[in-house]
Structure 1
Amino acid sequence: MPTENKPAESGLNFNTPDAGRAYIADLFKTVLKRHDYRQYIYERLAGDFACTLAEHFEAIKAREAVLQADLDARDQRVDELEQALAAVTEKAHDLTVKIHAEFGNTEHDSECKEDVAALYAMAGITQSHTCRSSCPAGRIGAKP
């Protein structure tokens, strides 16, 4: 099989000029979507330069993989925190509703509902609760 048709070595051993050139040719073909440099790469590109460049690109890919793994872990943590916030907010809402019921508070019910709707809209959460200072739940510290 001619060298120009070989894919880049999977072991990423760039100790031969052909391995470095194959890597660079594959990079041009797959990443840059350019096929017009194939002959130049295999016939004129210095082998040691190709190997050095290939090693450099592999180091960049390795750093990118580490950063992507970190980003994925942080995204997962954000998702977990958002779920925890939603659960706590729901519990706080339930407690506040119970407190309103215990005090027989109907006077400020519409104000609380308006505040809840506004908070949820701002936070992107489907439910929440807050009330103004005139609310009995707010006076006893049950306000989320």
Structure 2
Amino acid sequence: MARIEHYNNPDAPKANSIVVAVTVFVVDDQDRVLLIRRTDNGLWALPGGAQDFGEYIAETAVRETREETGVDIRVTGIVGIYTNPNHVIEYSNGEARQQSSICFRAEYLGGEPRTSDESSAVRWVARAELDTLDIHPSMRLRIDHGYQWNRDPYIG
């Protein structure tokens, strides 16, 4: 299913859903962040996705990271909570979702990056290389907040 990210776009469709979702900020021992290239829009992003019924939200972070990247993680904290009503994600099935995402901080436990149905590329990316990648501004905000290592999470 294709998706279009509307960010501060007055012509965006009106949101008709909110889904609890996560993203995961995890770095390796070289301080490189784990990123995927999404198959639905071609943009680079942190791994993540929607919570399933019967699952704790931290379990969502672990599951989605493993499914999309092949990497095992342990959740260690929260980077931030991202709920910008001016960020609407439009799907080809007619859903227009207001962003609602918890970005978790995690520790890398193991596994080798590999692609999935949701990721056409998966790799550890050096901080200096981030500006060369096509990353949505809302995702870049989470990555930047992750690298700030703030004691308190971002709430916005």
The two structures have a TM-score, normalised by structure 1, of 0.22
The two structures have a TM-score, normalised by structure 2, of 0.20
Higher relative contact order (CA 8 A, sep 6+): 2
More helix by share: 1
More strand by share: 2
Please tell me whether Structure 1 or Structure 2 has the larger radius of gyration of its CA atoms. Answer: 1
